[in-house]
Amino acid sequence: MKNVYEIFQEFAMVGTDEERIGVLQNNVRQNRRLTEVLQGAMHPNIQFVIKDRLDYNPSLDPPGLAYSTMESIFDRVYLFTEGSTRVSPNLTQKDKEILAIQILEGMEAKEAEVFMNMLLKNLKVPGLTPNLVERAFPGLLH
């Protein structure tokens, strides 16, 4: 299974929008979290409580050997989603930031960067725009 950052690296290496759409569509089967990351970063109705880059220590684990993966942590994204009814009202903003840092530090460094960028609503992938994502996956951002 490809990591999301590997898909984004492949995406950045092709030149045309049609090729970029092909990379996204062809890799959605390789990583089911790809569309969720795109949706989290680009859907206008999804907002996160993390507004600033968190100060965390990126993992030094080699690729594939980190404690957590995007696949294993994504079910906890609700903790950082504004208005989530699944989050205890007793969980403070500081608590959420601490949890996010723990998650980020347990992930492979490049995947953690993707996750952090998703929370900040800016994936920092040249050419990856809401319009292109909508063309690749109609209805994903509505």
3-class SS of residue 48: strand
d(C-alpha 135, C-alpha 25), whole Å? 10
Spatial CA neighbour of 110 closest among 67, 63, 65: 63
Is residue 13 situated within a structural domain? yes
Is residue 106 situated within a structural domain? yes
Listed in sequence order, the DSSP H helices in the chain are: 4-13, 17-27, 34-42, 70-73, 93-106, 109-119, 130-136
Per residue in 69-88, pLDDT (tens digit) is 898 999 999 999 999 999 99
| 19, 92, 119 from 122: Cα distances, Å | 21, 24, 8
d(C-alpha 69, C-alpha 106), whole Å? 8
CB of 7 closer than 8 Å to CB of 30: yes
CB of 70 closer than 8 Å to CB of 33: yes
Is residue 122 situated within a structural domain? yes
d(C-alpha 28, C-alpha 138), whole Å? 14
> What is the token pair recorded at 5?
């950052």
Q: What's the whole-model pTM score?
A: 0.95
Is residue 141 situated within a structural domain? no
Is residue 56 situated within a structural domain? yes
What's the total number of domains in the chain? 1
Is residue 142 situated within a structural domain? no
Per residue in 83-138, pLDDT (tens digit) is 999 999 999 999 999 999 999 999 999 999 999 999 999 999 999 999 999 999 99
Per residue in 21-57, pLDDT (tens digit) is 999 999 998 898 999 999 999 999 999 999 999 999 9
3-class SS of residue 56: coil
Is residue 115 situated within a structural domain? yes
| Encoded amino acid at 39, one letter | Q
CB of 114 closer than 8 Å to CB of 70: yes
| Encoded amino acid at 9, one letter | Q
Residue 58's domain spans which residues? 4-136
